[in-house]
Every structure is written in structure tokens, then in C-alpha cells.
Amino acid sequence: MAQAAFLSAHLGFRAASTPIASYDVPMTPQIAAAMKAGNLGTRWPQQKTKKRVMPSGEHPGMHIAGMTDFGSRPFASVALAGGYRYIEIMQKLLRLFQDGGFVEDDAVVTVINGPIGKMRVDLRNWLVAAHLEEGGG
């Protein structure tokens, strides 16, 4: 029953069902700062020019709204997994998601940070534990 999303230096926050092409964009301090300065309506990737009236890209609000049936089923448990810059951005997004009613104010938040192999194991363990709590077998 878990739902997954990802945070990308290139694409921003997206539901895991979002199709993506290969890319190689590191999470630089500048990109991290720009993402943390944004809100749920900030589109990513950022526009390079002002030529378009409607900004291109997608915003976190549209993805979290879809994942929670527009806030009618807010998340009660959340895992944040990634490097320290990603964790900082996800913590900011988490506060915005809570303010928007997409994540419960008293949600259990698990932060998973460390070497990639350990994070994968820890995330799997979190997913299995959440499945068992929901009555899965």
C-alpha cells in the first residue's frame, strides 16, 4: 500500500509513476537552495528564459495532491531517503505537505541517510514494517 515519490535535481518532486528519460544532474548547493526557496507551486525544472507566459515543468503540489486524493487520504507515515541535500529539501517539502493537509501533522517521519547500499536496506526494512503494520503478510 506504500506510495513512492522521488526528488530529483533535474525534475524536482515527482510521483514514482512519472516516466523519465536518462539524465545526469547533480544536486548542487545552488539547485538545493533554489528548491528549498520554492513552494508547492514552484515548477521544476526552472525556466531558463521568460519567453513562455505559462512556466514549464511540474510542481510538487500536483504530485502530492494526486498521491493523496487531493488531501482526502493524507499520509500518516513517511520515509525520507537520500543524501543530506536531498533530506534538507524533503524536510522542507514535508512541512509544506503538512501545511497543505497532504501529510498528517503528527505523521511518523523516518529519515534514512548514509551509504547507498545501507539506505536501500533501511528503506526496504521500512517498507516491510509498514506493510506488516497494515496487516500484510
**Residue at grid coordinates 501529510:** 103
Strand partners, 12: 8
Whether the upstream peptide bond of residue 45 has omega within 30° of 0, thus cis, is yes
Which pLDDT belongs to residue 15? Answer: 94
| Nearest of 94, 106, 70 to residue 5 by alpha carbon | 94
Strand partners, 78: 109
Which pLDDT belongs to residue 72? Answer: 97
Cβ–Cβ < 8 Å for 58, 43: yes
Q: Can you tell me whether residue 115 is helix, strand or coil?
A: coil
User: How does pLDDT run across 77-108, given as a tens digit for each residue?
Assistant: 999 999 999 999 999 999 999 999 999 999 99
Query: How far is 24 from 125, CA to CA, in rounded Å?
Result: 28
Which pLDDT belongs to residue 46? Answer: 82
Give me the residues of the chain with pLDDT under 50, please. none
